Amino acid sequence: MASSGAAPAEADEVVREFGPLLRVYKSGRVERPLVAPPVAPGLDAATGVDSRDVHLGDYSVRLYLPPSAAAAAEGGKKLPVVVYIHGGGFVAESAASPSYHRFLNTLAAACPALGVSVEYRLAPEHPLPAAYDDCLAALRWTLSAADPCVAAHGDLARVFVAGDSAGANICHHLAAHPDVLAANGGGARRTLKGAALIHPWFWGSEAVGEETRDPAARAMGAGLWFYACPETSGMDDPRMNPMAPGAPGLDTLACDRVLVCAAEGDFLRWRGRAYAEAVAAARGGQEGVELLETMGEGHVFYLFKPDCDKAKEMLDKMVAFVNAP
């Protein structure tokens, strides 16, 4: 991600660093040390899923078509659609990252489902709300069935949004967005069949569960958010804290069902659990809201250890969620 050419020593001074996700130099050069080189779309030998990229201006999507799609189409059936939004703190990762490409191949084959993985613009080059805007545009594009593959194979009555970390944050934003709420044309059916939030990145000024109560530590936990979203009102910005006073009502989410995945070793665990409980309370009970808590694992572990038993358990949960009536 570094710019080409040598830079003076002074210009190469690191001025901002956020763990392995992002390193910003005085010269303006940006590095993303954790991000692996992108992989090209195409036929996946392990799953038989075929993928291709569709460029749509500021953003693009990578479509994943499982091998069962052809037989389904011959039988007059279409597949559920999963619009997936990758994580990376709004500043890193890509739909073309090896870990996400592998996961989408696996998920598309296992459901089976038509996968739509969104390649959105990243901060700091494109501060928020660019990522939100791109993902909203991608969801609108999907719902329009403008692409022949989506039109032929996607069941638009069974559209799901799913994502991890910052991507899960964006999923909530989409499910709460007025345009998505109105996309059903005023009918009784909600626009989305479901939303799956994996280890969602939410935060707030007040601690929930066993989160740290120390104000300085809480401010540090939100540091990347402030950097990615310079226009934010703070830690209780409804985009970062959907349970904050004044945030859109959780009872109006444009999805029939909600799945929240949390991990025991993730500092965001308590926030994810609180979100699931708040959505259930807003809907008058637990019906339509599921919480999967994975013991002994950390944040987005399934991307780093895709073959472990707990990753398979989470995949099975997502497959059941997508295929539930």
Catalytic residues: 165, 266, 299
State both tokens at 226: 């402030």
Say which residues have a Cβ less than 8 Å from residue 167's Cβ, sequence separation at least 6: 84, 85, 86, 87, 88, 198
Distances 10 to 1, 2, 3, 5, 167 between C-alpha atoms, Å? 19, 16, 16, 15, 35
User: How far lies 293's CA from each of 171, 199, 279, 285, 307, in Å?
Assistant: 19, 10, 16, 19, 18
CA angle 301, 304, 307 (to 5 degrees): 90
For residues 192 and 139, is the Cβ–Cβ distance under 8 A?
no
| Integer Cα distance of 152 and 178 in angstroms | 28
Token reading at 139: 């969801």
Angle at 136 between CA 235 and CA 113, to 5 degrees: 115
